[in-house]
Each structure stands twice: as structure tokens, then as C-alpha cells.
Chains A and B, each alone.
Chain A
Amino acid sequence: MILNIENINVHYGAIQALKDVSFNLNEGEIVTLIGANGAGKSTCLNTISGILHPTSGRVTFIDEEITNTSPQDIVKKHMIQVPEGRKIFASMSVWENLEMGAYIHSDRSQIKKRIDQVFERFPRLKERRNQPGGTLSGGEQQMLAISRGLMAEPRVLLLDEPSMGLAPILVEQIFDIIREINHNGTSILLVEQNALMALSIADRGYVLDSGKVVLEGKADDLLRNPMVIKAYLGGEAIGSEL
């Protein structure tokens, strides 16, 4: 188990966002968290990343408790989050944004090499490399956000709704990339609204509702679970016409 979350409770002031949530991620896996708006998915990721601290419960990363570790120390363990809503550094250029992604590394030539890899994957970003990140279109920003996350050479990648606001063709591409990253050895925790896609590429999944894990299991099983179909797949079974 590379990442283990045990019984965490998280509060925003008086509001409890997570109630006794437990889940885990094994080395090399893709695990997805699905759930409605406000179910607490982003809260989970932020707790893992150290942005939020749970009121109780434990987060362990390879046998090491990281419950109250600061975000920068968690990043140094190569656990990287690509946050919801892209969060591009608006007035930094695309290039600088990518450099920021590699903040924990200091080898300039390595950084350069990885930026080239990113540009290979997303030619669109190469075209825009000197444009301020804030003026990119929504989809371009999403590509940049994922690329920026990859710059740190993550061991675990936490993706928060990477397909949001993307053109269908790009969604495909993004999921391809996620798959590929995973094949190259990165474990992935994927938060998605697009439950169908997420469950299609994931090994396992957890369903979150109002801050609680209500369902968990193999992705395929979840895809066939009537409740999941009804609530998160738009009432349509897998394989039906889109």
C-alpha cells in the first residue's frame, strides 16, 4: 500500500466535510473517487496533500505517517496533486508554470528535458509557451495543469477532475495520458465527475456521498452496480450509445 487513509474526519469550521473516510491506494494502481458535487472528493485530496489537516484519523504514505505534514514536505515525497480548477499561475508564462511544477528539482537540464517531453505530448502548449497562463483557454489550462503536475516526476499523482471543461476529443486524450502515466509506474488517485470514464480506466473505485464512503470495490463491479448506474452514470449502462 503506497497510500493509506484511515478514518479521517475533516471540518471546515463547524461544517464536517469528511466523516470517517478510509480508503487506500496500492502501488501501480489507478483508484478513482466518484461522487456528487460537494461530496468531499476535493477535501480528501487536500487532506492527503497537507493543505487541510484532519481533526482525527491517519494518513500514511509508504508506512510513514504524514497526517500533519506540510504540503511542501509531501510534495518532496513525490506525491503531487493537480488541483481542481486548474489553478494556473496566471501571470507566469506557460514555460514558467512548467518550471514551477519542477520546483522540488534543481537539475536544470533535466527540467529542460522534461519540458520538451511535455511539449511533445501537448504541441498546443508549445505554441503558447510564452503566453501568460491566465490567458489560455480553459482546456489549454487543463493541459498545462496536468503537465505541470508531471514535471515533478510524481510517484503518486492526485488528479482532481482533470476532464472538467475539456472537449470530448481531449477528454479521450487526457485519459490516454493518465493511463500511460500509470503504465510508466505512477500510482494515481483520480477524482472525477465523469464516472464512466473514470471507472473505465480505474482498477478500483470508491463512491463518496455527503462526506462518507458509501460504496467501494473493483471498478468493473461498480460500473455494474445499479445504484452507481442510476446516480453517477446518468442511468445508462456501460456500452450504451453515447
Chain B
Amino acid sequence: QPSAAPSQAAVVSGAPDVCTSDAFGCAVFKPGEVVKLGMGAPMTGGNGSYGVDISQGASIAVTDAGDVKGWKFALDAQDDGGTAEGGASVANKFVTDPAIVAIAGHIFTDATRAAMPIYEKAGIPMLSPSNTVADLTTLGSAVFNRIAFSDTNQGNAAGDYLFNTLKVKDLAILHDGSSYGKGLADTVAAQFAKDGGTVVATQAITPGETDFTAVLSAVASKNPGAVYFGGYAAEGSILVNQMKQTGLENAVFFGDDGTYGVDFLTHVGANGEGAFATIAPASPDSAAKTAFNAAYLAQFGKEAGSLSPYTWAGYDSAAILANAVKAVAVVGSDGNLYVPRAALMAAVRATKDYVGLSGTFTCQSNGECNAGLPQFVVVQNGAWVAVQ
């Protein structure tokens, strides 16, 4: 175990100067110890697949990251259930572990909200692969960053796209009642209305259920030209399937980055033809991505992306954090490794033009690292195809 708590680190003889000047001091690692990245994610319960998947993606990143001046990285993924209580408890656990230098997470918004103030006090940077709720980056947090879209970006673009490009006049809005899905759906609805379209129905579904024919029938009676869905692939694919038997067979299904993924394709089959989703603008098939996919399949026995759409983002967030650690870590005169914490926070936020598996990221001063406009994709012949 690292010998000293972060705040005391500066006093240790042999510590480099940065530690004295650093607002939060340094994390110290004796030779042979590991530099830990934390992750708070739901590993159990109804959303377990997200946590399991993203942590698996991140664990590959940690292996790929190699070492920092001879010290190895490790991922400490803890189950926070996606709830505020779990988030706070995991965050409190992480801040008492001096070996944790940064957090690749959290994954669900509630957990992030409760965890943020705790990391803020300890000076541990976060980089969430999946928190999209718009206001998270407006709270003035010095530690919170994300590579996920902000709902605002994605939602506005989707609203415009639906009205201007797809020429939809009547839109039905569905969401899963989560802060992610609802936030997105609200934004789309507002933008679509602003553009001059009509939102003919707004309904929420209950995640975890598998029969949405009733609500779809009700929506169908409004004859929408398209159905926008804010939510995840599990419910999204069921909706696409059931739209075909409820009188919505001619409406366009328009999803989000949560419904994108191979999993969606396998579930919807032919029903999915013409369904839209949004993704980060990235070259979908880089060599790195191919390598990652192979590694993921080999290690975890599943196709990357079959548990959640955030596999690659999970990889990216851990990889970016590892890069930042490499940039700031110093070996002291005593042979220990020192990671200055405030400097690390700054380094994470200074990420620029990082080309990852799920996009190219440049962090802004508010922690928004994915400012680019989303890319729209559509299912054609059973595959996702980018559209202009």
C-alpha cells in the first residue's frame, strides 16, 4: 500500500517540488506498487450490464496503457448500483485509498451527482464515459469531465435533423424515464418544436419491461412520421420490433447514442431497417478498434458492444486518464513515483485531439470533452451506415 496520505506526501523527503506546490499534494507509489484508476459503475441489478461492460472495456485500456515509468496501472471497479447512495459510498472508499489517482466514471447520473462533491474535496479527476445529462458540466466542478455527449448537443442536432433533413412534420417522443433518456427527449422535443414541427405525443416507458405494445398503439393513433426514443438499446430494440405490430410500421425510429450498437442490430433484425442513431464522429473502424474488439472477445467471450453501447467509451476514458497520469507523474529522488493530484486534474482537462475508439476528444474548460457535432447513422442491410 502507498505509504502516505495524499496531503502528507509533500513532506516526505525525496518528493519532487511539484508536490509542495500542488494544491492537493501527490500520490506516492513505492516501487512495485500499482497506480490505480477507480471506476464506480453498476455491476449488479437491472443495469448491471453497463457497469460490467464499461469496466471490461476500461480494463483492456489499463492493460494497453503499459506502465508509467515502471509502475503498472490497475483498474479498481466498484459496484455503485448506479444510485446516489452507492455512488457516494464508492467515492468515499476511493478517496480514502491513496493509490487511486483518477476515476473513469461514474456511469449513471445519480451516482455521479453524489460522488462529484466528494472527489472535489479530495482533488481526484473524473472522466465519465457515459454521463450525458446536460447540466453536469455547468455545475462548476473542477474534477468532472466527460467524453460522452451532452444531451444538449445531441438533442439539438437530432431535432434539427428530424425536421430539416428527414422532413418529419409530426414527431412522437418516447423516453425511458431515466435522467439520460428524458433529458435527451426533452431537448429533442424543444428543438423540433422550435424548428416548426409538431410533437404529437410524448410518452415514457418503464425500463426493464419487455412489452410496450400498449403505449405504442396509443402513439400510433397520432400518426407520427417518426418516433424519437431517448433511452438504451434494450428498450429501443423492443420498441423497434413492436412498432411493426402496432400500426407504426411506417414511422421512422430515431434513437440516440444509447441505442447504437451491434446488440441493437441482432435484436431488431429486419425490423431495424431505416432506424437512426447518433454516435460520436469517429472513424468507426480504426486498427485500434479492431484490435480492441478482438481482445474484448477473447477475454470476455462476448462481442464488444453486445452488453452496452459504451464499451469503447469505457476504454477511452481509462486510456485518457492513463495518458494524463503519464504526463504528470515524476520519479522522486527516493525512487518513489509521485503523481501530483492538482496537476493531474489539469492534465485531464487539457486533453486535446485525443483520437480514441469512440471519437476524437478535446476537453473544454468546463469538462466537456466531446463538443463535436454528432454523426447520424442508419441501419441499412443489417448494418450501421453513416449518413451525411
| A touches B in complex, CB < 8 A | no
A residues with a Cβ closer than 8 A to B are none
